[in-house]
Amino acid sequence: MFRKDLIPLLLDREMTVDEISRIAEQKGKTTTEDLQHLLKSLRHTAYQALITPAKCRKCDFTFGTDKLRKPSKCPKCNGTWISEPRIKITGKNS
Ligand SMILES: [Zn+2]
């Protein structure tokens, strides 16, 4: 998938890496790499990315926004009931 296509896909719409991968018909790892490059290049555009970080549903531990995919385990309680991080793009002036 072309990185520029990620902007219209995610514009004002929150999606997980898995959802994007399904639409782009590519592996989650590839989507993660595409997103990481996109997040860097967005700095020079009229868009910004909003990341809802992954969260442990058991103890409420919140992961960093650098994690774009669902972590396998919570470092605090070792729980595996973790919500997926979601990525969204908005216009900087909206
Ligand atoms: Zn936890």
| Residue 29 φ/ψ, nearest 5 degrees | -65, -40
Q: What is the rounded average pLDDT for all residues in the chain?
A: 93
Span from the CA of 91 to the centroid of ligand 1 (angstroms): 33
* pLDDT value at residue 94: 57
What is d(CA 42, CA 38) in angstroms, rounded to the nearest whole number? Answer: 6
What is d(CA 55, CA 68) in angstroms, rounded to the nearest whole number? Answer: 12
pLDDT-based confidence at residue 50 (cuts at 50, 70, 90): very high
* pLDDT value at residue 43: 86
DSSP reduced 3-state for 60: coil
Q: Which residues surround ligand 1, an ion (CB under 5 A)?
A: 56, 58-59, 61, 74, 76-77, 79
Span from the CA of 81 to the centroid of ligand 1 (angstroms): 8
Kindly state the average pLDDT of the residues 67-73: 95
pLDDT-based confidence at residue 33 (cuts at 50, 70, 90): very high
Domain count, the chain: 1
Q: Name the pTM for this structure.
A: 0.88
Domain of 33? 3-91
* pLDDT value at residue 28: 94
